[in-house]
């Protein structure tokens, strides 16, 4: 499932301008790297690139706040 | 028997303390007495909606029946196997859910201040809970509909009159379980502290600003005819009264919820320390602004981006900010000052974002130090207070109201 990981990191890199490969537990909201706009873009990109459809209400900030958690969520939803 | 506005006077608190002690003992011993909780909920609802207010009680019952049926029908449609999940039943359900609120809000505007007979204290807050439930049912996140649990959620008495606005799934998780004893002891400690901080806020500070200081300033401002420094004084006093009154109420609601083992979300987080307007909306009336963020702003952005309505991300955000805050303005009521207040904050968010982008681009030349941070807090505080002056309706009384002298 490394494919998912690479894609999510690439999407996040696109959105925030930061590389999270070595920083998977950084909190995206506390550091203000992601806001509501970024979040929606993230959901749309995940939909386009990985084919998972996560509705906006699925998005609980506490469960999606680090790259590692996002990757775990996406992998769970792909199955 | 006397009749009470929630948390309005000391007697109400005595009733509260007496009623929740058995519930607390149960929780300490690992049990939630749901039947008992329902009985005391009814008791407190009758204290507020009974007696001389019985008409609003009838309105509440009617409203509740209407919404439960509406959500039940929509859930049935959405949760049957291979539900087509079309857009129109969803839109129709949302419209039907807000129709009662719209009638209540529009009636005074077109019938010169007369209140609608279907209104009751807290209708605007309950409506948020209904609409979010419909939205999450559409998204398939809420998979089951229980009329009784839904009713418990809507009528949760500590928050019925003015929030904080909880979320169905979050509320249910608490209601269905009993906190561990250590966690519950922490909740009691925090809850008691909240209630006592609430006393200081509402019965001392809000009293000083709202009851001691405000009337005199108001008189002087009216007598001055036109602009005077009294208006500026009014602006600050009103803003502080608004904060301490509402934050005090919210502390009561959250504190009492905690004692009942329900972790109702917090409503305020030191809003006057905000460094910018966006920061402010993350700290002021948080359950309302997060509701708008999650159920209006993000959904609008999602829709606009998916259908590529606007070319740029910036335009999309700006349009959504203004629509979002305008709807918040209309929700407050159909008067020019509430709607202007919404528009004002929509524009403030647009300016805020533009400035932050500019600052990021030129960060090598724009200074950032302790002084600029203090200045940012000072500026935000004043912008916010000015918006509350609009919100207060006092400018309306001053410049457009019937002449009193």
Read off the pLDDT of residues B354-371 as tens digits, 9 standing for 90 and up. Answer: 999 999 899 899 999 999
- Check residues B257 and A70 and name the one with the higher pLDDT: B257
Q: Is B332 a catalytic residue?
A: yes
Residue B179 backbone dihedrals phi, psi, to 5 degrees: -65, 150
What whole-number percentage of chain B has pLDDT above 90?
89
* Residues in chain B within 8 Å Cβ distance of A43: 302
What's the pLDDT score for residue B404?
45
pLDDT at B403 over 70: no
For residue A30, the model assigns a pLDDT of: 82
For A15-19, which contacts have Cβ atoms below 8 Å and span 24 or more sequence positions?
A15/A41, A15/A42, A15/A45
- Would you call A39 and B298 a contact, using CB atoms and an 8 Å cutoff? yes
Alpha carbon of A30: minimum distance to chain B alpha carbons (Å)? 12
Region B156-175: mean pLDDT is: 96
Q: Is 80 exceeded by the pLDDT of residue B389?
A: yes
Mean pLDDT, rounded, for B243-257:
98
Average pLDDT over residues B383-392: 98
Give the residue from A40, A46, A55 with the most B CB atoms within 10 Å of its CB, the best one to mutate.
A40
pLDDT of B229 over the 80 cut: yes
Q: What does the mean pLDDT of chain B come to?
A: 94
Contact: A36, B139; criterion CB under 8 Å = no
Distance CA B164, CA B267 (A): 6
How sure is the predictor about B112, in pLDDT bands with cuts at 50, 70 and 90?
confident
Going by the DSSP 8-state scheme, the letter that residue B111 receives in this structure is T
Q: What is the mean pLDDT of residues A58-74?
A: 85
Of A43, A44, A57, the CB nearest to B136: A57
Q: pLDDT band for position B402 (50/70/90)?
A: low
The answer to whether residues A67 and A23 touch, using CB atoms and an 8 Å cutoff, is: yes
- Long-range contact set of residues B397-403: C-beta below 8 Å, sequence gap at least 24: B397/B222, B398/B221, B398/B222, B398/B231
Give yes or no for residue A1 having a pLDDT over 60: no
The DSSP secondary structure of B20-40, one letter per residue, reads HHHHHHHHHTT---HHHHHHH
pLDDT attached to residue A58? 76
CATH code, domain carrying A74: 1.10.1200.10
Q: Half-sphere exposure (CA, 13 Å, Cβ side) for B405?
A: 9
Tell me the ipTM for this assembly. Answer: 0.87
Distances (CA, A) of B35 to B13, B26, B41, B166: 22, 12, 10, 21
Question: Looking at the predicted structure, is the pLDDT value of residue B30 above 90?
Answer: yes
C-beta of residue B250 within 8 angstroms of C-beta of residue B163: yes
Q: Average of pLDDT values for B135-144? A: 92
A58 → closest Cβ in B141, B297, B317:
B141
CA-based nearest distance A57→chain B, Å: 6
Q: Collect all residues of chain B within an 8 Å Cβ-Cβ radius of residue A56.
A: 139, 294, 298-299, 302
Mean of pLDDT values over B317-325: 97
List the single best residue of B281, B301, B304 to mutate versus A (max A Cβ within 10 A).
B301
Number of domains chain A contains: 1
Average pLDDT of span B15-29: 96
| The pLDDT of residue B1 | 61
Interface of B with A in 375-394 (CB under 8 A): none
- 8 Å CB contact between B292 and B328: yes
Whether residue B126 contacts residue B96, with contact meaning beta carbons closer than 8 Å, is answered with no
Confidence of residue B401 (pLDDT cuts 50, 70, 90): confident
Q: Given A37, A55, A57, which is nearest B301 (Cβ)?
A: A37
Chain A contact set for B298 (CB, 8 A): 36, 39-40, 56, 59
Query: How far are the Cα atoms of B44, B195, B250 from residue B159, in angstroms, in the given order?
Result: 11, 14, 8
∠ CA B38-B40-B41, nearest 5°, is: 60
* B105 contacts: CB under 8 Å, gap ≥ 6: B124, B330, B331, B333, B334
pLDDT at B114: 87
Residue range B41-63: mean pLDDT, rounded: 95
For B287, other C-beta atoms within 10 Å of its C-beta total: 22
Tokens linked to B319: 């349009």
Q: What is the pLDDT of residues B267-305, one digit of tens each?
A: 999 999 999 999 999 999 999 999 999 999 999 999 999
Q: Residues B5-27: what's their mean pLDDT? A: 94
With CA atoms as reference, the chain B residue closest to A47 would be B306
- Chain B, nearest residue to A60 by Cα: B294
Q: In A, which residues are within 8 Å of B299 by CB distance?
A: 56
Q: Which domain holds residue A55?
A: 2-78
If pLDDT is split at 50, 70 and 90, which confidence band does B405 have?
very low
Report the residue from A36, A43, A55 with minimal CB separation from B141: A55
Nearest by CB to residue A57, choosing from B135, B297, B313, is: B135
Residues 6+ apart with CB under 8 A from B115: B104, B107, B108
More confident residue, B313 or B185: B185
């Amino acid at each position: 499932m490394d494919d998912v990981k690479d894609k999510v990191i690439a999407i996040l890199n696109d959105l925030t301008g930061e590389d999270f490969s070595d920083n998977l537990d950084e909190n995206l909201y506390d550091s203000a790297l992601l806001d509501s706009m970024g979040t929606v873009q993230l959901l749309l990109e995940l939909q386009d690139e990985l084919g998972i459809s996560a509705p906006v209400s699925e998005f609980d900030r506490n469960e999606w706040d680090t790259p590692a958690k996002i990757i775990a969520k996406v992998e769970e939803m792909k199955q | 028997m006397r009749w009470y506005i929630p948390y309005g006077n000391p007697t109400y608190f005595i009733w509260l303390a007496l009623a929740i002690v058995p519930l607390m003992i149960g929780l300490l011993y690992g049990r939630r007495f749901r039947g008992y909780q329902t009985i005391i909920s009814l008791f407190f609802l009758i204290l507020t909606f009974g007696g001389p207010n019985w008409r609003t009680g009838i309105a509440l019952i009617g409203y509740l029946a209407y919404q439960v049926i509406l959500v039940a029908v929509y859930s049935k449609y959405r949760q049957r196997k291979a539900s087509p999940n079309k857009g129109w039943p969803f839109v129709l359900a949302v419209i039907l859910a807000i129709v009662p609120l719209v009638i209540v809000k529009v009636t005074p505007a077109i019938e010169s201040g007369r209140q609608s007979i279907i209104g009751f204290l807290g209708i605007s807050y309950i409506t948020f809970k209904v609409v979010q439930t419909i939205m999450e049912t559409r998204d398939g996140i809420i998979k089951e509909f229980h009329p009784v649990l839904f009713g418990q959620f809507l009528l949760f008495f500590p928050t019925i009159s003015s929030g904080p606005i909880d979320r169905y799934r979050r509320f249910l998780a608490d209601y269905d379980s009993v906190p561990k004893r250590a966690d519950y002891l922490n909740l009691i400690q925090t809850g008691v502290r909240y209630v006592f901080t609430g006393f200081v806020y509402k019965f001392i500070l809000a009293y000083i600003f709202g009851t001691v200081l405000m009337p005199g300033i108001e008189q002087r401002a009216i007598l001055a005819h036109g602009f005077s420094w009294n208006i500026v004084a009014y602006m600050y006093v009103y803003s502080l009264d608004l904060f301490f009154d509402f934050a005090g109420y919210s502390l009561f609601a959250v504190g009492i919820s905690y004692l009942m083992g329900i972790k109702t979300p917090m409503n305020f987080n030191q809003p006057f320390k905000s460094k910018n307007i966006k920061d402010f909306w993350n700290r002021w009336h948080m359950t309302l602004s997060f509701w708008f963020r999650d159920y209006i702003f993000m959904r609008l952005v999602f829709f606009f981006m998916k259908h590529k309505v606007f070319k740029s991300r910036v335009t999309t955000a700006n349009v959504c900010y203004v629509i979002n805050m305008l709807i918040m303005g209309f929700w407050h009521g159909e008067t020019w000052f509430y709607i202007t207040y919404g528009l004002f904050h929509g524009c403030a968010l647009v300016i805020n974002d533009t400035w932050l982008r500019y600052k990021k681009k030129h960060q090598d030349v724009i200074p950032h130090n302790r002084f600029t941070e203090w200045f940012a807090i000072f500026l935000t505080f004043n912008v916010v207070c000015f918006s509350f002056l609009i919100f207060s309706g006092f400018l309306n009384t001053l410049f457009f109201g019937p002449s009193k002298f």
